[in-house]
Amino acid sequence: MENTLLSARNISLTLAGNRLFNGLNFTLDNAQHWAIVGKSGSGKSVLLQTLAGNIGLSSGSIDYVFLKFLPAEDRYTNPQQFIAFAGAKHHFKNLSNTNDLYYQQRYNSSDSEDTLTARKYLQAIKVNDHKPTYWDIDKTIHALNLNHLADKEIIKLSNGETKRLMIAAALVKNPLILLLDNPLTGLDVDTRAYFNRLFEEIVASGIHLIMATSPKEIPSVITNVLIMADGIAEQQMTKKAFEEEYIEVEPEPEVKTKALTDLISLFKDIHQYDKVVDIKNIHISYGDKVILDKINWQINTADRWALLGANGAGKSTLLSLINGDNPQAYANDIVLFDRKRGTGESIWDIKSKIGFVSPELYQYFPADSSCLQVIESGFYDTLGLFRPSIKSRADLALEWMKALEIEKYSRSLLKNIPASAQRLCLLARALIKNPALLIFDEPCQGLDEHQQRHFKAVVDAICDNSNVTLIYVTHYQHEIPDSVNKVLKLDRGRVV
């Protein structure tokens, strides 16, 4: 115990009637750095939140042993001052700290200015006064490659850029223990390699790492691996033993083809457009910063495209022009569904023809939204069901949940279910109105390998049985469905 920093003993946790841990034991010793692996829904992220003190236990205890090593005057300090957590969900608010940000806010210049810049966001964080400051704001901004983004409003950051900011926000606290929830997902290949080097510097600065991650993305600094399954610490071993012994054998995913086919039949050849998307010589800039330059792209009915590019390449901005979220569309030459932008169509006319899935979308729904309500809201293209439920539409939402094998979550809150089920709920929400165009922006983030293959199989079944058009965004080649047969790649706002 003399080298132990943190010890979780026989911990159990039940939330909303669901048993998440059952007698789990875990110990962090000095000079150890842990990776937590396991299928989506195994409890990895909840364990991190619990170790951080953000979730109370049903039984058992967590002993923050490191407190006894602190100077006498600090021993009774709140242990959470010495532990920092960086997860996928942000809690950004406007400048007056009165309202949460909304999804389209990044594209509206006056509204986006009602948010902190990345630098001011970091400056507002309460740092740990009890520990020498190695990670000051300037050093952290440089280490996380945020220099060119420091004076950018946080709502304008891409998904990958936001992830880097969340890690920076945890680092500037100079914690003893840093908890990271899937820090490498959603990052391009070069950025993932850069993060491996960053982790080495973090460890060298005296910080202990515990991270949930994919078995295929365990950084070199990790010394030990915890394998979780259904809320139980199934195995604990050194990283070397894990690499030598652990082979994950995944069964082939089974898709309920009959149920899907019956629902997909509603799509059958109902969408025919000469040009689903036709954009010419697109130019988007914010101040002196050019985001997209000279972009031309034509998408026809039943085309299936992969949209590729590094973090910050302009993918999200390009999608925002197609999805009706970006007001700069009116200053450009854009045709959507055979109709030129600015000729009297409304944003809701456009959205009614598009089904959209994004890993960050779930956090913009009201906290009290059930999964069934989230899916039914797809009929109205709103992030939440803000009108009385209609039985026929709720029944159809439940049929989609059955086809995607997530009906057990129908009455659960979206925020309380595993990431894999969240993705499938958003997929059902996108599909329920029979859209002409599907836009999937990194839909497999947070899914384990089996769930990724299942999601791909579902997408392929949809494409095989309908003439729906698809745009699919990912940083991982293996996530691209077989039905995708065209590619557009961006680099620094240009087509390459």
Task: Look at residue 251 and tell me if it is in a domain.
Answer: no
> Does 92 have pLDDT greater than 70?
no
Does residue 89 lie in a domain region?
yes
Same domain, 385 and 431: yes
Q: Please check whether residues 134 and 14 belong to one and the same domain.
A: yes
Residue 197 lies inside a defined structural domain of this protein: yes
Query: Does residue 129 surpass a pLDDT of 80?
Result: no
Sheet with 333-336, edge to edge strand ranges: 289-299, 277-286, 333-336, 339-340
Tokens representing 460?
């392929």
For residue 405, the domain's CATH number is 3.40.50.300
- CB 35, CB 226: distance < 8 Å: yes
Least Cα distance to 61 among 20, 133, 7 occurs for 7
Q: Are residues 398 and 424 in the same domain?
A: yes
What is the residue range of 411's domain?
257-495
User: What's the domain count of the chain?
Assistant: 2
Locus of tokens 């045709």: 335
Same domain (yes/no): 57, 185: yes
From the list 82, 481, 81, the residue with the least C-alpha distance to 306 is: 481
In-domain check, residue 60? yes
What's the sign of the alpha-carbon dihedral 473, 476, 480, 486? positive
CA distances from 173 to 125, 133, 231 (A): 8, 8, 29
Burial class (CB in 10 A: 0-12, 13-18, 19+), 194: middle
Residue with tokens 């952290």: 140
Whether residue 252 lies inside any domain: the answer is no
**pLDDT (mean) for 11-28:** 81
The number of CA neighbours under 13 Å toward the Cβ of 302 is 10
pTM score: 0.74
pLDDT of residue 22: 81
Q: Are strands 232-238 and 277-286 parallel, antiparallel or unpaired?
A: unpaired
How long a stretch of residues is the chain? 496
Cα–Cα distance for residue pair 231/197, rounded to 1 Å: 31
Alpha-carbon span 239 to 225, nearest angstrom: 6
Quote the CA–CA distance of 202 and 440 in Å, as a whole number: 34
Phi, psi (degrees; rounded to nearest 5) at 19: -80, 115
Report, as an integer, the average pLDDT of 242-271.
Answer: 71
Mean pLDDT of 369-373: 95
pLDDT category of residue 252 using cuts at 50, 70 and 90: low
Q: What is the pLDDT of residue 340?
A: 92
Q: How far apart are CA 154 and CA 156, in angstroms?
A: 5
Q: What is the structure's pLDDT at 221? A: 95
User: Among residues 245, 271, 306, which one ends one of the domains?
Assistant: 245
The answer to whether residue 491 is domain-embedded is: yes
On whether both 237 and 342 belong to a single domain, the answer is: no
Whether 268 and 201 map to the same domain: the answer is no
Residue 248 reports pLDDT greater than 70:
no
What is the pLDDT confidence band of residue 269, given thresholds at 50, 70 and 90?
low
State whether the Cα torsion 190-36-89-151 is positive or negative.
Answer: negative
Both 392 and 458 in one domain: the answer is yes
**Residues pairing with 21 in the sheet:** 13
Of the residues 220, 245, 270, the one at which a domain ends: 245
Domain shared by 215 and 340, yes or no: no
Say if residues 450 and 253 touch (Cβ distance below 8 Å).
yes
User: DSSP letter string over 231-260?
Assistant: TEEEEEEEHHHHHHH-----PPP---HHHH
Q: In this structure, are 205 and 240 located in the same domain?
A: yes
Same domain for 148 and 90, yes or no, is yes
250 within a domain of the structure (yes/no): no
Question: What confidence tens digit (pLDDT) does each residue in 388-421 have?
Answer: 999 999 999 999 998 888 899 999 999 888 777 8
Backbone angles phi, psi at 313, to 5 degrees: -75, -15
| pLDDT surpasses 90 at 300 | yes
More confident of the two residues 282 and 65? 282
Co-location of 349 and 378 in the same domain: yes
One domain, residues 206 and 285: no
Residue 126 domain-assigned? yes
